[in-house]
A and B are shown apart, each in its own frame.
Chain A
């Protein structure tokens, strides 16, 4: 029973032009997803520095998801291609460090895909919750 009480902490980086608008649309359409998901707005998915993700995990995040425009649709034409490449590398490194691949994700959500946004967050939160708490970077955690 205790296990069911566990709520994962999920940080979602959303690009301003597509995914953040997609999240707004999910809101407009009153599509539920867990409150565990907290969104940080960035201009483009390519603004997400691997540093931010490491920091989130150090501070106790259980999952980090980056959402951007669909390939070819980035407001800045190519930002999301950088994201895809950078994150592929970062995520496999994190996996090596013991942060399971299921805890990290890059997803393309357009401004029209409110339903996809909600579905993605539901699915991601469920997968992360199934893995349980993320303790891997605790020793590196910069305690205040």
Chain B
């Protein structure tokens, strides 16, 4: 029989205002198992906790019920109190009489009655509590970063700086992400390459960092501190350790008409390629869809010109298995497809481009060597129309675009407009916007400079239609402030396309059992207080994969994620959650029902010998739960047809007792 103490909290007047706390502690005195019951102003205060500790000692309590605020608030506090009093911390139950009682019911008799019932349910549960001890597991002191954009780069550098080994898995042939494609960056206008490429070199030269480029994660097993990850290194048909990145093969390759994805298809590359001059690793990659040798065995020129002998047409995809203690997701974003936005004639005219394409057109390393030329005829555009919010903040057109604000477009459009006017003062630049949002540091000043110093025409209103006519683009738009229809003959139209998470993020989230919102951005464990952790222990978030972000925000989140990882890897052991499933081997018939529903693969089977009463032995297959893998959802307990599977902390008997107490 349990010896239970009940502690009813007033929470100042938060509870005591609508619940008669004296009546509650009096009523609970008579419940089975209760030997002590009291109430106090603030149970969570030091004095309140001391009171609990005192009572445990004085009355030899074995279980504690605290009637107070939500267990989400102070369950951990009172568990620590129990521990300090020499009790097992899991001998505590909380009756939530604040959030779920005093705050939602106004009438004192009604609130009091409900508080008593909730208290009774908690007492009934504690009567069946058993001491639980969390298991311990070791920590593999290595981190995995998925995605090698600025987010992944910064996270990896910070983790390595603390002395822990890090692997970066990047699906493209080089790290760098979107930032490598940008020209200059707001709000300071420093060139992206000048600030990014030194970091890429740091990554390459850091002895603690390994880069798996042109690779992807194909399987994740395990749990915080002990992830088993399978990495697929796609065959690049070039031996990475031998290739010197000299580029002789690229020059000689006869297949020169492959659209260059790094320049968003605005120029061509060869079948064997190095994405850009500062690529890391600076290693060539053969595109198997374009290479003649790989497609039909004819050519082999690159192997002949490669002095290092790095070309290997027989290379196969390679699977690498590695253990990690922590995983950081940094898979970034992409601009959405413009296919559904016919009104802007993106697919009809080469001179309607996206903002990322514009970045390449103004980039000295881009297809036009930094000269702003029209993709169609290579002429200088004299009138440029920028359209903001294409597919962003789209309530009505949710099937085409996104409901959220992409956050970075206002600023990069101001940047583009300003840079254009700076380099080509003879161009007329129009920006159509719904609102201009510039909340960052020095952002509003930046935008005002575009308007005031650079004379960019900002027009509040949406562009209704873009019609290619001759070598002009007829832009029809409305000016909402002067309530006029505008017709502009533009030479170039630039669409600030909404951004969305990388398409590979969702399957990755499933592998990691990390959650995502409806837009496929990774969700954080708590939107305010745990912004860089995912709800899955050991999985952290960095950069635009969690939500639209500019570079300064990405870098600060990357550093925050790294510090969380470092905190985890610095530990030698992790204590788990003891509220996990366990199967009763005498009742289990090895049917596999539980294994099929477990989302974590925590259940395995073993053949166990049972001594029968007639002294024979019987070998039976029984379910075994891996305590380090089980997360304690309880799916298996319901699936089990023989009632063998139960959950510590939320046992069937305990929940039944609560039901009984409530329905009495």
Contact = CB atoms under 8 A, between A and B. Distances in A.
B114 interface: yes
Q: Which 9 A-B pairs have the closest CB atoms?
A: A27-B99, A47-B634, A59-B663, A76-B633, A27-B103, A24-B99, A44-B633, A46-B635, A35-B114
A79 B515 CA distance: 13
B48 interface: no
Contacts, number: 139
Given A60-B663, A82-B638, A52 B633 contact: no
B101 to A, nearest CB: 8
B634 A42 contact: yes
Interface in A43-98: 43-44, 46-52, 55-56, 59-61, 72-79, 82, 86
B660 A55 contact: yes
B557 interface: no
A50 B652 CA distance: 11
Contacts of A61: 659, 662-663
B106 A56 contact: no
Q: Tell which of B110, B121, B518, B662 has the most Cβ of chain A within 10 Å.
A: B662
Interface string A107-141: 00000000000100000000000000000000000
Contacts of A30: 103-104
Contact of A31 (B98, B104, B650, B655): B104
Contacts of A55: 656, 659-660, 663
A82 B599 CA distance: 11
A11 B635 contact: no
A77 B104 CA distance: 31
Given A43-B634, A79-B635, A118 B513 contact: no
A38 B655 CA distance: 13
A59 B647 CA distance: 23
B373 interface: no
Contact of A49 (B72, B117, B637): B637
A41 interface: yes
A30 B46 CA distance: 28
26 contacts: A11-B659, A11-B663, A21-B72, A26-B104, A27-B98, A27-B103, A27-B104, A35-B107, A35-B114, A38-B114, A38-B117, A38-B121, A41-B96, A46-B638, A47-B635, A47-B637, A49-B637, A49-B638, A55-B659, A59-B660, A61-B662, A61-B663, A72-B515, A75-B633, A77-B599, A82-B635
Contact of A40 (B98, B114, B638, B658): B658
B599 A56 contact: no
A31 B639 CA distance: 36
A86 B639 CA distance: 10
A53 to B, nearest CB: 9
Contacts of A27: 70, 98-100, 103-104
Interface residues of B, number: 50
B100 A23 contact: yes
Interface in B604-650: 631-635, 637-639, 647, 650
A26 to B, nearest CB: 6
B239 interface: no
- Sort chain A's interface into a size bin: 35 or more
Contacts of B655: 40, 42, 47, 49, 52
A77 B512 CA distance: 10
B104 A56 contact: no
A39 interface: yes
A59 B658 CA distance: 12
Contacts of A9: 662-663
A54 to B, nearest CB: 10
Interface string B157-200: 00000000000000000000000000000000000000000000
B100 A40 contact: no
The secondary structure that dominates the B interface is helix
A72 B517 CA distance: 8
Given A35-B114, A39-B96, A79 B633 contact: yes
A88 to B, nearest CB: 14
A46 B634 contact: yes
Nearest to A62: B663
B663 A48 contact: no
Nearest to A58: B663
B579 A43 contact: yes
A75 B515 CA distance: 7
Contacts of A78: 599, 635
B637 A76 contact: no
Contacts of A47: 633-635, 637-638, 647, 650, 655
Contacts of B117: 38
A48 B660 CA distance: 15
A23 B631 CA distance: 23
Given A17-B535, A30-B103, A43 B632 contact: yes
Interface string B516-540: 1010000100000000000100000
Nearest to B506: A72
B535 A75 contact: yes
Contacts of B403: none
Nearest to A10: B662
Contacts of A59: 659-660, 663-664
Interface string A25-36: 011101111010
A24 B70 CA distance: 7
A86 B659 contact: no
Contacts of B100: 23-24, 27, 39
A23 B110 CA distance: 18
Nearest to A36: B114
Interface in B401-442: none
B113 interface: yes
